[in-house]
Structure 1
């Protein structure tokens, strides 16, 4: 068995690719509401590509995307549907695949300034309520602020399923600086938040591949110095660097040509060499990327050279 877990890729782009209904502000939640079979097709494609973990399509089930009224009326039901569709795809798989319940930033991606603890508690409680019967683990993803992780832990309470926390990083980095969260908080603070929330893994997602290697190296060093063992993961995006005031999912950004499957694999090889044990893709990373990643991880596991 491989010592590297392969995640799926970005749901939104895959829904667009296969012809699902898609627009702002609903984003990937629109297919869930209007044509849920497309969500199952997207999950099936990532499983066929070799993902060990697929993520329930609950990321956009927040008032930021579907509106306050619809969220309060249908949020739990939509979260349950997202979980059920993922579980059904796993049931069709010829091998063991786990479902991660996506717990997104409640004030909007890349917007730590919009975090409101009391609102977050209500939103996350609804998502946990709907997803819980269907997921094998929890994935708090694209988190810009450590306080968001505290809200996730409150929503989960004593829920025994593993919690993975994934932070998004500022895309700008130079050789003299460590990566930081989009809030400006340090990786030391991110580690403290993950450990306080009893996380089973610490990941980074929805940022440039270039910043991920520095993050993995830095976090691994901090953990080793502290004598702490915590799996590290990466799933980067494939669009150009975003401004500090940008909103993720505000539009479908043009994708970088250098991040085709072979190009993305070169970065994945580096992350794994630095110690990443969980690797997949975020926005713009599709089934072809995951298939390339699966093949490379399998080749590595049997001692063959990387074929990026």
Structure 2
């Protein structure tokens, strides 16, 4: 089922775009360094994605966690930096004059791609300042690059009673994928992710920060399971441009290579396939820039 004309476009990868723009950018702070040393770069990056056609932009709060900015800085400035990330996104929307939603990014709390590092007993203390800082500025919550169901469950606990739409986005196993059983990096299945989305009342289920080759099958399975459960939910994806990642490698642990075949034309070919499979929402993750969003804005509508 092709969703011609009904695709909602997300933005692309903020960290790589900031780096490309010449914003302050280094390890371990990653994209959070721009908030610390050059927040106007963040506003300008958002503006570029909006100009390209993004209808939802995501706050630059992905790296506002102890893993990137350190425990002491997070404790003293975490909420402040989350607030700044929200303000930069909201300012970019206001200046654009367009109807664009702001998604509050709630990232992996202990390192991306590593469900084995997740510490549920510590999750609420880390989510609290992120949510408090972002809440005045966002239209919806995006728990993104979640590697395991337990991560998403803790987000839902932290947001209980909030009232804003909750979007879950899971990162998929893409080193040795099983087409018959698409799975999260934890090994839990996409079918289980759909069941959790229903249980927790999520408005949208996405897949992100994985190779585009594994997204189509995940969309198929998610849509079929949602239909079986009688669940009305938006489903989509935003892939990265990385080569395969090993199971012991953390996202943003190093500055990874970007695939040369995933230029705007190459990425658009995947996006057309996702649209044909019935995806409601499409965007880009690491290595996908405004030029990719612009190509999809032209072609998918």
TM-score range, shorter-chain basis? over 0.9
Correspondent of 1:70 among 73, 89, 96: 73
Greater relative contact order (Cα < 8 A, sep 6+) = 2
3-state SS of paired residue (1:259): coil
Counterpart CA distance in 2 for 1:60 and 1:146 is 21
Residue 203 (structure 2) aligns with: 200
User: Are 1:288 and 2:291 counterparts?
Assistant: yes
3-state SS of paired residue (2:261): helix
The offset of 1:176, in angstroms, is 5.2
The offset of 1:296, in angstroms, is 1.2
Residue 148 (structure 2) aligns with: 145
3-state SS of paired residue (2:141): strand
Residue 47 (structure 2) aligns with: 44
3-state SS of paired residue (2:24): coil
1:1-308 pair list within 5 angstroms:
2-173=5-176, 177-298=180-301
The offset of 1:118, in angstroms, is 2.2
For structure 1, which runs of at least 5 residues remain unmatched after alignment?
A: 299-308
3-state SS of paired residue (1:257): coil
TM-score by length of 1: 0.94
The offset of 1:173, in angstroms, is 4.9
Q: Contact 1:172–1:211 (CA<8 Å) still a contact in 2?
A: no
Counterpart CA distance in 2 for 1:102 and 1:24 is 20
Residue-by-residue CA offset, 1:146-198 (whole Å, 9 max, x unaligned): 01111101111101110100000010356653211000111121112222221
3-state SS of paired residue (2:236): strand
Residue 302 (structure 1) aligns with: none
User: Is the deviation greater in 166-175 or in 196-205?
Assistant: 166-175
Counterpart CA distance in 2 for 1:274 and 1:2 is 14
The alignment yields a C-alpha RMSD, in angstroms, of 1.2
What is the aligned length? 298
For structure 2, which runs of at least 5 residues remain unmatched after alignment?
A: none
Counterpart CA distance in 2 for 1:118 and 1:124 is 12
Residue-by-residue CA offset, 1:218-270 (whole Å, 9 max, x unaligned): 11111122222211010000010100111000112111111000100000000
Q: Contact 1:62–1:123 (CA<8 Å) still a contact in 2?
A: yes
